[in-house]
Amino acid sequence: MKILITGGAGFIGSNLVEYFLNKKHEIICLDNLATGYMHNIEVFIPNPKFTFIEGDIRDLETCKTAVQGCDYVLHEAALGSVPRSINDPANTNSVNIDGFLNMLIAARDEGVKRFVYAASSSTYGDSKKLPKVENEIGKPLSPYAITKYVNELYADVFAKTYDMECIGLRYFNVFGKRQDPNGAYAAVIPLWVKNLLNHERPVINGDGTFSRDFTYIENVIQANELAAFTPTETIFLNREKYLSEIEEIQNSKSSIVAEVFNVAFGGNTNLIQLFEALRDNLAKHDKEIGKIQAAFGPNRAGDIPHSQASIFKANTILGYNPKYDAKTGFEKACEWYFQKYK
């Protein structure tokens, strides 16, 4: 299969590139290196099945060139980070919405078999319901969350209007190798690992009781593979089963693939537990790290207290069955960061 992976020089994208190249697929990677890096993909360049196109998804022609001959699209390119979107909503909007629309148009015109895209748990917004279930969302709490919700709306309309197959994966706090520890918008895990390796005190925003469903990258890879390759008929059959279980039988006969799925482990770890897990894993290599205590700062704008996914829908329809709990993921990620940055 020939697969276009946008954002393939970024954290999640480069892990997808690596996995699908190992599976002998042909991979086109489109990335403008805004937050991704050549060093994430350098090792793949000599592989004849890998092509890197440096380009911007805000340019429709670039998207069309990249998707030529592709069977599947895994669309990961976006400007991530809630704080970035609060500081610069216009740029987040143009990449995440205009760029997304360009990719949908290019994929539609190319007639790809399926368009799988990175959605986000931020779409749950101010909903207090736990665990998060796909069909019950709240109001967005940031410009970033708006863009990710608009992606879902566009994908839904394209699926219905142009008979495309679109699947959105609502990622919950993904972490693992190659997630960027640098820059103002680094995610909490690589940022704290970097602090600890430098013998600095990580800062917990708030009192440390806020919790997240931290999701190891391998689980995300599994979800992408299932989302891309699960046969359409299987999706229809399993969707009927799923909808009857959640008592929405009236919609179960639709012949459209326009789904969103939570992608998480289904657990919860609060920030103090996270800090302790990272510290204790890194202290196996460097005893001094074991003595570091966290510092505490104010809550961040746009942060919700708790986020935990129900993965029942992805499990029932796609057969998603995450293999790595957060604890195992923290061990693996710490090992990777230690070897890389020691």
Ligand X SMILES: NC(=O)c1ccc[n+]([C@@H]2O[C@H](COP(=O)([O-])OP(=O)(O)OC[C@H]3O[C@@H](n4cnc5c(N)ncnc54)[C@H](O)[C@@H]3O)[C@@H](O)[C@H]2O)c1
Under the binding rule (CB under 6 A), the answer on residue 80 touching ligand X is yes
Which span sits near ligand X by CB under 6 A: 25-33, 153-161, 205-213, 306-314? 25-33
Minimum CB distance to ligand X, residue 283 (Å): 25
Place of tokens 């639709």: 254
Q: Which one among 17, 79, 101, 107 touches ligand X, defined by CB under 6 A?
A: 79
Q: Which C-beta is closer to ligand X: that of 59 or that of 335?
A: 59
Q: Which residues pair with 297 in a beta bridge?
A: 205
Q: Does 2 bind ligand X (CB under 6 A)?
A: no
- Rounded to a whole number of angstroms, the minimum distance from the CB of residue 43 to ligand X is 15
Give the active site residue among 19, 117, 144, 242.
144
Q: Long-range CB contacts (< 8 A, 24+ apart) of 276-282?
A: 277/326, 277/327, 277/330, 278/189, 278/192, 278/193, 278/196, 278/202, 278/330, 278/334, 279/196, 281/330, 281/331, 281/334, 281/335, 282/193, 282/196, 282/197, 282/334, 282/337, 282/338
Measured CA to CA, the distance from residue 50 to residue 3 in angstroms comes to 10
Q: Does 102 bind ligand X (CB under 6 A)?
A: no
CB 3 within 8 A of CB 26: yes
Q: How far apart are CA 36 and CA 77, in angstroms?
A: 9
11 is a contact residue toward ligand X (CB under 6 A):
yes
Cβ proximity of 260 and 152 under 8 Å:
yes
Pick between residue 102 and residue 270 the one whose CB is nearest to ligand X: 102
Q: Which of 5, 112, 145, 174 binds ligand X (CB under 6 A)?
A: 174
The tokens 């946008």 sit on which residue?
6
Under rule CB under 6 A, residue 77 binds ligand X: yes
* Contact range with ligand X by CB under 6 A, out of 85-93, 172-180, 230-238, 301-309: 172-180
Does residue number 190 form part of the binding site for ligand X (CB under 6 A)? no
Distance CA 164, CA 144 (A): 25
Answer yes or no: 19 catalytic: no
Q: Which residues bind ligand X (CB under 6 A)?
A: 7, 9-13, 31-36, 56-58, 76-80, 95, 99, 118, 120, 171, 173-174, 180
Which residues participate in catalysis according to the annotation?
144
